[in-house]
């Protein structure tokens, strides 16, 4: 009798565990590797306590996450800033457009040395590599203009779209080389400098606050415009999983993790107060 009772208790407990697990809702998020995937995995247990099981899929590059989220393959994605999202939304129909709901952090762009070590060493004909997607190329060119290396049309901002065709010489006549963002670190052997985002600089072994000869300022307009967001479909803006993600990502635990994690090398700055994308 005691043995049968013990078996019954074990079965009840096991059933309760399975039921509790089954009640958790799944959140599928597409993310770039560093720091986005790392950060999401960091809060997995916190989400589980709120009743959600987080499934993170790492996707290299910037091209696939938004269409996959629009198509419902993922509940959310986490890799992009406001200008990039705005450009995507301009390219698709209203039903496919996405909304930025949770500001998380800012990754400063930096100018990293390749075959030259100081900006003062540049001469006419030297090349600088920049990202080739519209929003990030504009951002990179704005940083080069701030460094006095090029001149852009008057009134150019982070919401503008400019390419190397819009560039006028600054202190020297440079060749601007447009490259897929994820390939920029590999170009450093062939170009004088490259303008690289933190999420690609850090995995390549670059330390933003040490290795970049110039960084975007943490209090600059770029820090506001280029905060990285969790992005969802318009129908999910008020969903309970969004509230749960916001709660765990906007925690002191995450703020401290971003500021003190040695793997981020000063290239990931929390910015929970940024406004949602328009």
Q: What is the pLDDT of residues 39-81, one digit of tens each?
A: 999 999 999 999 999 999 999 888 999 999 999 999 999 999 9
Q: What is the CA radius of gyration of the chain?
A: 22
CB contact at 8 A, 225 and 81: yes
By mean pLDDT, which of 12-16, 112-116, 213-217 is the weakest?
Answer: 12-16
CB contact at 8 A, 239 and 245: no
**Structure tokens, 58:** 């790492």
Q: pLDDT tens, 7-47? A: 544 444 555 544 444 578 999 999 998 899 999 999 999 99
User: What pTM did the predictor assign?
Assistant: 0.77
Helix, strand, or coil here: 60?
coil
By mean pLDDT, which of 2-16, 102-116, 148-162, 203-217 is the weakest?
Answer: 2-16
CATH class for the domain made up of 2-107+226-270: alpha beta
Burial class (CB in 10 A: 0-12, 13-18, 19+), 151: middle
Distance CA 71, CA 233 (A): 9
Torsion (CA) 184, 185, 188, 191 in degrees, nearest 10: 10
Distance CA 128, CA 192 (A): 6
In the chain, domain spans: 2-107+226-270, 110-219
What is the overall mean pLDDT for the chain?
A: 90
Q: Strand order of the sheet with strand 175-179?
A: 175-179, 127-131, 193-196, 110-113, 214-215
Distance CA 120, CA 138 (A): 23
Question: Do the domains spanning 2-107+226-270 and 110-219 agree at the CATH topology level?
Answer: yes
Looking at domain 110-219, which of 3.60.21.10, 3.40.50.300, 3.40.190.10, 3.40.470.10 is its CATH number?
3.40.190.10
């Amino acid at each position: 009798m005691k043995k049968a009772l013990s078996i019954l208790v074990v079965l009840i407990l096991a059933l309760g565990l399975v039921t509790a697990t089954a009640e958790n809702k799944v959140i599928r998020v597409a993310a770039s590797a560093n720091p986005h995937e790392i950060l999401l995995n960091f809060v997995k247990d916190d989400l589980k306590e709120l009743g959600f099981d987080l499934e993170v899929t790492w996707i290299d590059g910037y091209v696939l996450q938004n269409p996959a989220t629009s198509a419902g393959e993922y509940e959310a994605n986490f890799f992009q800033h406001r200008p990039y999202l705005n450009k995507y939304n301009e390219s698709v129909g209203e039903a496919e457009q996405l909304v930025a709901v949770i500001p998380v952090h800012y990754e400063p762009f930096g100018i990293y040395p390749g075959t030259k070590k100081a900006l003062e060493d540049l001469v006419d004909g030297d090349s600088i590599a920049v990202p080739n997607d519209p929003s990030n190329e504009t951002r990179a060119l704005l940083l080069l203009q701030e460094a006095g290396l090029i001149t852009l049309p008057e009134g150019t901002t982070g919401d503008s779209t400019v390419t190397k065709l819009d560039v006028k010489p600054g202190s020297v006549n440079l060749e601007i080389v447009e490259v897929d963002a994820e390939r920029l670190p590999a170009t450093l052997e062939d170009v004088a400098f490259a303008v690289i985002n933190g999420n690609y600089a850090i995995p390549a072994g670059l330390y933003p606050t040490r290795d970049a000869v110039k960084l975007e300022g943490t209090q600059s307009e770029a820090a506001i415009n280029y905060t990285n967001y969790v992005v969802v479909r318009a129908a999910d803006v008020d969903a309970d999983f969004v509230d749960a993600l916001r709660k765990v990502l906007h925690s002191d635990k995450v703020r401290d993790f971003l500021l003190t994690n040695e793997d981020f090398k000063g290239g990931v700055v929390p910015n929970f107060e940024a406004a949602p994308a328009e």
